Chains A and B, each alone.
Chain A
Amino acid sequence: MELVLNLLYAIVSIGVVGGLFGLILALSEEKHSESVSPPLDRILPGLDCGICGYSTCVAYSEAVIQKRGELDACTPGGKNLQNTLEKFLHLEVNYRDGSYPQVHCRGGRDTAQYAFTYQGLDDCAALYRLFQGDKLCKYACLGMGSCIRLCPSQAISYTRENLVFVDPKKCTSCGICITVCPTGVLQKIPRNADYFIACNSLDDRPTTSAYCTVGCTGCRACERMSPEGGFTIEKNLARINYRRRGERKNAEKACPTKCIVKHKIE
């Protein structure tokens, strides 16, 4: 009986104290709910070791953005991080021109065939260790969102069809997503591109059409329909030479699997 009473005391006292302070916090926090954390702290190690001279990684990342300097202060990050930071700061200035990475895959639950059902860590690298992904296509986007979590400018997100999409307006072309993607489905395209090939499969025509309804089979319809569009087929996959400025609309219409996708910039 005494034991039960003791337990009850413990639960009630901690509960009351915690609840009271929680209430105070909730009341004080009400008006200020916006996050002030800068995007850079995601690529920092997050150890809060203080070697850089700031007490946490967040404080250091703020200083980096403000001063545009002190890139070599982070010892745990090393040379690698320094290069990334340099890239990030440099590209933040003039990222509007040039190219940016886009996901070259539109295979989702209803379009692509799956080899097995994956239940595990939400991480592309982990999934890739298992038979190079759960899709039959070994070139596809795995869709676990590793790039989404790592993107420092939060430019990558899921679309309504649960596909991964990079927003060219937010992307700074830092290239972090390219380095984490195990399948190499993220490839750079010009920011002002009108169309892009939303497929990465190098398999031949029967194989590709067996496992994906939106995969490029290398049928050469685009080459024929838009000869000035710069379409070429290499290893069963269409590619666009963006230096050619010809029309590409006919090719989009003619593509049997609709893997030539209009590049939307709102």
Chain B
Amino acid sequence: MSYIGILFTFIFAQNVVLQYFLGVDHAQGASKNLSRALVEGLLLTIVCSLSALVVRTVYVEILLPLGLSYLRTLTGILLILTLGKLLEVSIRYLKPILPAGSSYDCRGITLNSLVFGIVLLTIHRIYDVWESLFAGIAAGLGYLVAVLLLGVLREQFQREWIPRSMQGTPILFISAGLIAMAFMAIDSALLQQLFR
């Protein structure tokens, strides 16, 4: 499968947030401030791509030859947390460049189930090095798409009349479900044909 195919798969056809429902809680809790949400999404993209790459490499090069594939969950958690921590450290150096505001919260990004999900998907589908890197990037971008959609919806909720019992989280969950159903309409089999 080509790289563009992978990008399309994980952003639209099998958007990790909306189709696999990984990291839905984080997508809903993402910042209302647009630029902040963008930066958080990009940080998540970095974590996703790096961890998909590293975990895939460790899994294929070390665990599989030794017959230790049952250790993939443990290794994944170990490596993802380390990468998140590294990102947190590097962000302190990058702080002057990033948009103003309080500190970016890397703990939340690292603990996002999306990261672990895409890592497991990468391992499961046996991607090569570049493919796993692209899968990670696509997963992060897919998260960004979901965050933007939900953010627009949230703004709309403040203007619309919503029944009292539905206000806040319930209506957001229902809307997220509807968006997910819309995304399911994209035919992934067709995509795979196109970008073979």
Residues of A in contact with B (beta carbons under 8 Å apart): 6, 9-10, 13-14, 17-18, 21-22, 24-25, 28-29, 32, 36, 48-56, 58-59, 62-63, 66, 75
Contact of B168 with A55 in the complex, beta carbons under 8 Å? no
The 8 closest A-B pairs by CB, nearest first: A50-B29, A55-B108, A62-B102, A21-B82, A56-B108, A59-B105, A9-B66, A53-B32
Alpha-carbon distance A14/B69, docked complex (angstroms): 12
Contact of A55 with B109 in the complex, beta carbons under 8 Å? yes
The majority secondary structure among interface residues of chain A is helix
Contact of A55 with B62 in the complex, beta carbons under 8 Å? no
- Interface range, B side: 20 to 34
6 contacts between A and B (CB under 8 A): A6-B66, A6-B68, A29-B89, A50-B29, A51-B29, A56-B108
Known pairs A10-B68, A58-B107 / 15 extra A-B pairs, C-beta < 8 Å: A6-B67, A13-B62, A14-B78, A17-B78, A25-B86, A28-B86, A36-B103, A48-B29, A50-B28, A50-B30, A52-B29, A55-B105, A56-B108, A59-B103, A59-B105
Residues of B in contact with A (beta carbons under 8 Å apart): 25-26, 28-32, 40, 58, 62-63, 66-68, 71, 74-75, 78-79, 82, 85-86, 89-90, 92, 102-103, 105, 107-109, 111, 168-169
The one of B29, B58, B111 in contact with A54, judged by C-beta atoms closer than 8 angstroms, is B29
Total A-B residue pairs with C-beta atoms closer than 8 Å?
Answer: 85
- Asked if A55 meets B30 with Cβ closer than 8 Å, knowing A13-B66, A28-B86, A66-B102, the reply is yes
Contact of A10 with B71 in the complex, beta carbons under 8 Å? yes
- Asked if A53 meets B25 with Cβ closer than 8 Å, knowing A24-B82, A25-B82, the reply is no
**Chain B residues, CB < 8 A from A32:** 89, 92
- Asked if A59 meets B62 with Cβ closer than 8 Å, knowing A10-B68, A51-B168, the reply is no
**Chain B residues, CB < 8 A from A53:** 29-32
**Chain B residues, CB < 8 A from A22:** 82
Alpha-carbon distance A10/B69, docked complex (angstroms): 10
Taking the nearest CB of chain B, how far is it from the CB of A66, in angstroms?
A: 6
Alpha-carbon distance A6/B66, docked complex (angstroms): 8
Contact of A17 with B79 in the complex, beta carbons under 8 Å? yes
- Asked if A55 meets B31 with Cβ closer than 8 Å, knowing A9-B68, A29-B89, the reply is yes
Alpha-carbon distance A219/B188, docked complex (angstroms): 87
**Chain A residues, CB < 8 A from B108:** 48, 55-56, 59
Contact of B92 with A17 in the complex, beta carbons under 8 Å? no
Alpha-carbon distance A29/B58, docked complex (angstroms): 23
Contact of A55 with B103 in the complex, beta carbons under 8 Å? no
Across the interface, name the chain B residue whose C-beta is closest to A36: B103
**Chain A residues, CB < 8 A from B29:** 48-55
Across the interface, name the chain B residue whose C-beta is closest to A10: B68
